[in-house]
Amino acid sequence: MKVKLLTTISFFTYQLSISQTEKLLNGKVLSQKIPLHKVEVINKTAKTSTTTNENGEFSILVSVKDSVLFFSKDYFFKRLKISQENIDQNNIIVNMVLKPEELNEVVITNIKFPKVGPADENSTIIPKPGLQSYTGVYNGTITNGMNFMAIGGSIFSLFKSKDAKAKSKNKQHELTFKKLLESTVPLDYFTNDLKLKPDEKELFIDFCDADPHAATILKEKNLLYTLDFLFTKNQEFKKLNSGIKN
């Protein structure tokens, strides 16, 4: 009975100490003085998250030295290390920078039509096989005119080529697990948080990409899930490396 009582007291004392250190931090996310809606605000340390409202405002529980991330797919990633000054101020302003828009490649192709010039006065015009000779009555055909079938074939080939290039371009821009990490995870996360050496980064990403769960991460596109997945895989990666070295 005494043991249970002491355990209960210890638990509530711990919860009280946690609640006393955590404070509700209010703030606003802007870009060029314009409020940003639906920005993900993630307390990576406490593993909690929220999103900004239509006015760019947010509220989230934080403690000193917590790492808070601000993420929106159209803006550069923002990271904030919470200080006592931030908590005391309790109305912080976070400015995010818009990513430059990627322009699709413009392909300009020249279409060459057959040249039709005046006939030489001494030349003899010989009708092509299958064409009616001139009888004095207009029959709707143009003698020695342009080959519209050939022109139509050239135009069809042009559009077919452009369609193939467009499909190839879309395939190149298809989102992969590696591209997801490049666009969402800060560069210093691999070195500062995961403690990976520069030459281990690519190998580690390939190691994570080989996990079937990477497809789920790619589909969800949730930064908090992504960071948790990388943290878990890093522990496996470290054990694997130590096993190989031993």
| pLDDT tens digits, one per residue of 122-172 | 555 555 555 454 455 555 555 555 555 555 565 556 556 555 565 555 555
Give the Cα separation of 141 and 69 in Å (integer): 73
Over the chain, what is the mean pLDDT?
Answer: 75
pLDDT score at 74 = 87
Give the Cα separation of 178 and 126 in Å (integer): 66
pLDDT higher than threshold 70 for residue 238: yes
pLDDT score at 30 = 95
Give the Cα separation of 203 and 208 in Å (integer): 9
Tokens for 45, please give them.
Answer: 């340390």
pLDDT higher than threshold 90 for residue 55: yes
Distance of CA 179 to the CA centre of its chain: 7
Give the Cα separation of 60 and 78 in Å (integer): 16
pLDDT score at 159 = 57
| pLDDT tens digits, one per residue of 196-210 | 888 888 999 999 999
